[in-house]
Amino acid sequence: AGLGGGGGALGGGSTANVAVLLDGWLHVANLGDARAVLSRGGRAMPLSVDHKPDVEAERLRIEGRSGKVEWRGCWRVMTNNGGNPRGLAVSRAFGDMDWKVPNVLVESTPDVMSVQLNGRDDFLVIGCDGVWDVLQNQDAVDIAGRHLSGMKREAGGDAAAAAAAQEIASRALSLGSMDNVTVVVMGFQWA
């Protein structure tokens, strides 16, 4: 996500997308540009919003803290800490301390979305930006749906979910994704 390099032990950062299933509710916490997409009756339902510097609320927050958002191949939050101008392609992340001192330009506060699951909910796809840079939400749902339709855990549902994740990742790479590509698919079983 960085342009240039932040050095040292505190120079790196990361995004996160965490899903917790509890008592029939799916809770998704998002920080950065990884994304969670629920398949509800075969239709893609995004459960997170990408934290990108060009999203108006994010840009206004950054500029309100004396930060700058510039186009450098993509929209980036700029810093000049250490006399080395660098840009970060996300507006929220863990770490990335050069964008947090002296002003917190890149926050570490996640957005959380909760949805009550029902029998129409098929599976969840979580992927990093290398997936979503080249695939639409519905594309990923369609790919996973081909693997998971009618599958139950005892009949190979875990293997089908792993195969779905592998195909989504392979498709992203074949479409020319230049970023890291990580995918997890979690199927839901209904009695």
pTM here?
0.88
pLDDT in tens, 55-98: 999 999 999 999 999 999 999 999 987 778 899 999 999 999 99
Residue 161 DSSP SS3: helix
Ramachandran category for residue 83: left, alpha or beta (phi over 0 → left; psi -120 to 50 → alpha): left
pLDDT tens, residue by residue, 89-100:
999 999 999 999
128-139: average pLDDT: 97
Question: Cα angle at 190 between 185 and 191, to 5 degrees?
Answer: 150
How many residues are listed for the chain in this entry? Answer: 191
Rounded to an integer, what distance in angstroms lies between the CA atom of residue 106 and that of residue 13? Answer: 10
Domains of the chain as residue ranges with CATH: 15-49+110-187 (3.60.40.10)
Decide: 13 and 98 in contact? Cβ < 8 Å. Answer: no
